[in-house]
Structure 1
Amino acid sequence: MSASLLPLKLIMRIEPGCLGPEGALHVERFCEFASEPFNRLGGQAMDWQLIPRFDKQLPEIEYWLNEHKLTATQAQRYLKLWSIDLEQQEEHTSELLSELIDLFWQRR
Structure 2
Amino acid sequence: MSMPKKLSVLCRVEPGCLGPDGREHIEAFCNLAQQAMKHFAVDLVTWTLVPRYDKTLPEMEYSIDNKWLSRSQVSIYFNTLGQDLDTFEEVFNDKLTAFINLYLARKS
Check whether TM > 0.5: yes
Displacement of 1:106 in angstroms is: 2.8
Note the aligned Cα RMSD (angstroms).
Answer: 1.5
Q: Partner of 1:66 in structure 2?
A: 65
Q: Deviations over 1:40-91 (max 9, x none)?
A: 3323111121100001111111110112110111011112233221110111
TM-score by length of 2: 0.89
**C-alpha distance in structure 1 between counterparts of 2:58 and 2:30, whole Å:** 16
8 Å contact from structure 1 (residues 75, 86) kept in 2: yes
Unaligned residue ranges in structure 2 (runs of 5+): none
Q: Which residue of 2 aligns with 1:101?
A: 100
Aligned pair 1:29/2:16, yes or no? no
SS of the aligned residue for 1:25 comes to: helix
| Pair 73,94 (structure 1): closer, same or farther in 2 beyond 3 Å | same
Residue 89 (str. 1) matches residue 84 (str. 2)? no
1:18 matched to which residue of 2?
A: 17
Q: Which runs of 4+ in 1 moved over 3 A?
A: none
Work out the CA distance in 1 between the residues paired with 2:73 and 2:81: 13
SS of 1:43 mapped into structure 2: coil
Residues 11-47 of structure 1: per-residue CA shift (max 9 Å, x gap): 0100000000000010011111111332333231111
Structure 1 regions of 5+ residues with no counterpart?
none
Letter in 1 for 2:56: Q
